[in-house]
């Protein structure tokens, strides 16, 4: 596959010879170009896509008898208006699979989009950055900042409804142009279904794909999409585009967590740490634990160079982030760490507090491992009867869980940690701590013996 990414002038036929076992999905994975691309029109001999009439518009929000992978254009979700009437007015225009539509409809009647307690942000322009979002007031961790119904939802990868095979003599760059042209036609008919106000909002969004063959609709989708919705069939992940939420710029130390809440069918952004009045509200567009150089490569298609503190001083920041990534691996290697039932008999407060300091100083509270460290501290303080610190870390952990959509799990965990802490105290009183310590010793297993042979 590497030759495919590097040599866009290779034809599909030549590539198939080099990769005899390759499948269609290998081809789909090749990265779209960005920046300045020459010859962006349709290749000679390839006609513009004409969507089949039956695909153009399926208006009935209740129709469900589609094949799983059949792509449909539909307005979602439906909800009850103030008069008790079923409506999907100002809903999200979606280009989704039949399986995805069934999943949305199966979620039932959607409650209203949550409303933040007050407007706590403003959108204004900033030199060299275009429109940005700023805090109008101090915002505590966990607070809901934005919640909005998405404007549009599209598949995360560019798709075509071209029934005929794309000619094998085309180069990958030409095939890419065919795909981008097709997608522009398909996506335009979805955006055209938005009411004028919402369509105008979509067209006002930034577009960093002006010269790479992306049309005005596909360019905006590529620039503003959030990937937080997975197809139950074979499409993979969808990209979701909001209005105000799209004004959030990137930072490698973001202060909000964005999510798509299927329950209310809304895009939400919550503070992962306290945000001061006047501070810019930021989200991350790339994997923030990777080294600065990798992050810049991932951000290049967005048409800017990140100049956050971490990117300006990568030598020290990369080391810190590698440490945080190790914590994340540890949290992940413990499986569902949020159900971790181990008892912190002799908790290492120093190492946990040091880990916490690394995350907060680098501004990485959005990471799962930050929540992991908070939970371990909460358990440790509970087990040592230190209720002053229990209160502090309970508040921090709750705010983190609220911001990152882990609230339900966190509640169960806090109850579990409370019971666990009480149990540890009682066992200590009974002098049974030694029994617990023995239980926590690594066990020899049959698998380990086999390996030794």
* Residues near Zn ion, by CB under 5 A: 252, 306, 308, 311
Dist. CA 334–CA 69, nearest whole Å: 35
In the complex, minimum distance from the CB of residue 139 to Zn ion, in angstroms, rounded to a whole number: 21
Residue whose CB is less far from Zn ion, 267 or 308:
308
Nearest Cα neighbor of 401 from 338, 334, 351, 335 is 338
Which DSSP string do the residues of 47-84 spell out, in sequence order?
PPP---HHHH----TT-----TT-EEEEEE--EE-TTS
In the complex, minimum distance from the CB of residue 143 to Zn ion, in angstroms, rounded to a whole number: 24
Dist. CA 140–CA 276, nearest whole Å: 9
Residue whose CB is less far from Zn ion, 252 or 271:
252
Residue whose CB is less far from Zn ion, 281 or 417:
281
What torsion, rounded to 10 degrees, do the Cα atoms 298, 327, 417, 254 define? -30
Residue whose CB is less far from Zn ion, 149 or 250:
250
Please tell me the chain's helix, strand, coil percentages from 3-state DSSP, rounded to the nearest 5.
45, 15, 40
Residue whose CB is less far from Zn ion, 147 or 288:
288
In the complex, minimum distance from the CB of residue 319 to Zn ion, in angstroms, rounded to a whole number: 15
Residue whose CB is less far from Zn ion, 194 or 308:
308
In the complex, minimum distance from the CB of residue 285 to Zn ion, in angstroms, rounded to a whole number: 10
Within 169-243, where are the H helices?
172-191, 196-203, 216-224
In the complex, minimum distance from the CB of residue 298 to Zn ion, in angstroms, rounded to a whole number: 11
Which DSSP string do the residues of 220-271 spell out, in sequence order?
HHHHH-EEEEE-SSSS-EEEEE-SGGGGPEE-SS-SEEEEEETTTTEEEEEE
336 DSSP 8-state letter: S
In the complex, minimum distance from the CB of residue 245 to Zn ion, in angstroms, rounded to a whole number: 20
Q: In angstroms, what CA-CA distances link 188 with 153, 182, 294?
A: 12, 10, 33
Residue pair 221/239 in contact by the 8 Å Cβ criterion? yes
Residue whose CB is less far from Zn ion, 241 or 252:
252
**Which residues does 103 contact at the CB level (< 8 Å), separation at least 6?**
232
Residue whose CB is less far from Zn ion, 252 or 410:
252
Dist. CA 146–CA 114, nearest whole Å: 9
In the complex, minimum distance from the CB of residue 271 to Zn ion, in angstroms, rounded to a whole number: 19
Helix (H) or strand (E) holding 270: strand 266-271
444 DSSP 8-state letter: P
Residue whose CB is less far from Zn ion, 198 or 284:
284
In the complex, minimum distance from the CB of residue 317 to Zn ion, in angstroms, rounded to a whole number: 9
Instruction: Copy the structure tokens of residue 250.
Output: 């990137």
In the complex, minimum distance from the CB of residue 306 to Zn ion, in angstroms, rounded to a whole number: 3
Helix (H) or strand (E) holding 326: helix 314-333
Q: In angstroms, what CA-CA distances link 173 with 12, 66, 185, 434?
A: 10, 33, 19, 67
In the complex, minimum distance from the CB of residue 296 to Zn ion, in angstroms, rounded to a whole number: 8
**Which residues does 357 contact at the CB level (< 8 Å), separation at least 6?**
none
Residue whose CB is less far from Zn ion, 352 or 366:
366
Strand partners, 124: 132
């Amino acid at each position: 596959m590497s030759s495919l990414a590097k040599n866009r002038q290779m034809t599909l036929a030549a590539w198939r010879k080099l990769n005899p076992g390759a499948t269609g999905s290998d081809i789909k994975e090749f990265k779209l170009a960005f920046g300045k691309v020459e010859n962006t029109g349709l290749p000679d001999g390839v006609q513009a896509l004409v969507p089949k009439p039956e695909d153009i518009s399926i208006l009935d929000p209740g129709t469900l008898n589609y094949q799983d992978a059949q792509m449909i254009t539909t307005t979602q979700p439906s909800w009850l208006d103030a008069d008790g009437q079923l409506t999907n007015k100002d809903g999200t225009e979606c280009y989704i699979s039949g399986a995805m539509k069934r999943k949305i409809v199966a979620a039932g009647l959607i409650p209203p989009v949550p409303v933040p307690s007050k407007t706590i942000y403003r959108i204004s322009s900033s030199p060299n950055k275009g429109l940005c979002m700023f805090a109008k007031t101090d915002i505590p961790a966990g607070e809901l900042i934005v919640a909005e119904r998405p404007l549009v939802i599209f598949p995360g990868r560019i798709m075509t409804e071209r029934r005929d095979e794309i000619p094998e003599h085309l180069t990958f760059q030409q095939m890419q142009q065919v795909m981008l042209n097709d997608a522009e036609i398909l996506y335009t008919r979805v955006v055209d279904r938005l009411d004028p106000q919402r369509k105008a909002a979509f067209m006002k969004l930034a577009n960093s794909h002006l010269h790479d063959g992306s049309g005005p609709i596909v360019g905006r989708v590529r620039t503003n999409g959030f990937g937080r919705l997975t197809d139950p069939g074979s499409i993979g992940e969808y990209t979701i585009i909001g209005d105000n939420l799209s004004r959030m710029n990137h930072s490698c130390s973001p202060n909000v967590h964005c999510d798509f809440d299927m329950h209310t069918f809304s895009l939400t952004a919550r503070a992962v740490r306290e945000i001061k009045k006047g501070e810019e509200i930021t989200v991350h567009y790339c994997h923030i634990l990777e080294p600065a150089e990798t992050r810049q490569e991932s951000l290049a298609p967005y048409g800017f160079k990140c100049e956050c503190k971490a990117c300006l001083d990568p030598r020290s920041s990369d080391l810190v982030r590698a440490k945080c990534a190790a914590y994340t691996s540890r949290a992940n290697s413990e499986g569902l760490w949020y159900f971790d039932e181990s008892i912190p008999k002799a908790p290492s407060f120093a190492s946990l507090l040091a880990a916490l300091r690394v995350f907060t100083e680098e501004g990485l509270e959005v990471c799962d491992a930050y929540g992991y460290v908070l939970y371990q501290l909460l358990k440790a303080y509970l087990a040592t009867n230190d209720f002053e610190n229990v209160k502090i870390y309970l508040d921090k952990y709750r705010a983190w869980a609220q911001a990152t959509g882990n609230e339900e799990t966190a509640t169960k965990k806090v109850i579990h940690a409370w019971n666990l802490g009480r149990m540890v105290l009682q066992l200590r009183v009974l002098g049974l701590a030694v029994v617990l310590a023995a239980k926590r010793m690594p066990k020899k297993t049959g698998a380990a013996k086999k390996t030794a042979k």
